[in-house]
Structure 1
Amino acid sequence: MTAARLTHSDLAERLNLPLSTVVELRKREGWPHVRLGKAVRFTEAQVEQIVTSHIVTSAPEAAPMFPGHRPHRPKR
């Protein structure tokens, strides 16, 4: 098998995230990974799966134009 296997540090560098964030997200989000004894590694296919699973397609809610301003909402 010649597929590259990335460490937590390699993945953190690639995603431009702190190492602690990558470790926490792997555990909390159940990111796919390969465990070899105590060592955790990520294949290129798994990295692609991780990234595509976090793509956000909806626009974020607009921030208020002025501090303290709340958007008008019709009464029910």
Structure 2
Amino acid sequence: MIEQQPSPVNWASWNPAPLSGMVHAWTWEVFAHGAESGFYFRWRQAPFAQEHMHAGLLRPDHQEGPAAR
């Protein structure tokens, strides 16, 4: 697995978020398909440039974002 986006982007007019438990399920799914590792895009939301438009597991202030749970 290259990467998965665990939370919505924050630049679109409608930003769907994964349902509760979906990131967990997707993570196990990639291992069931033979992946040796998985990476989450974005672990921490960047506070600058275009990357700040993507939410992350952690906010720039180091607090948990909505997808962290």
TM-score, length-scaled by structure 2: 0.26
Q: Which one has a bigger Cα radius of gyration?
A: 1
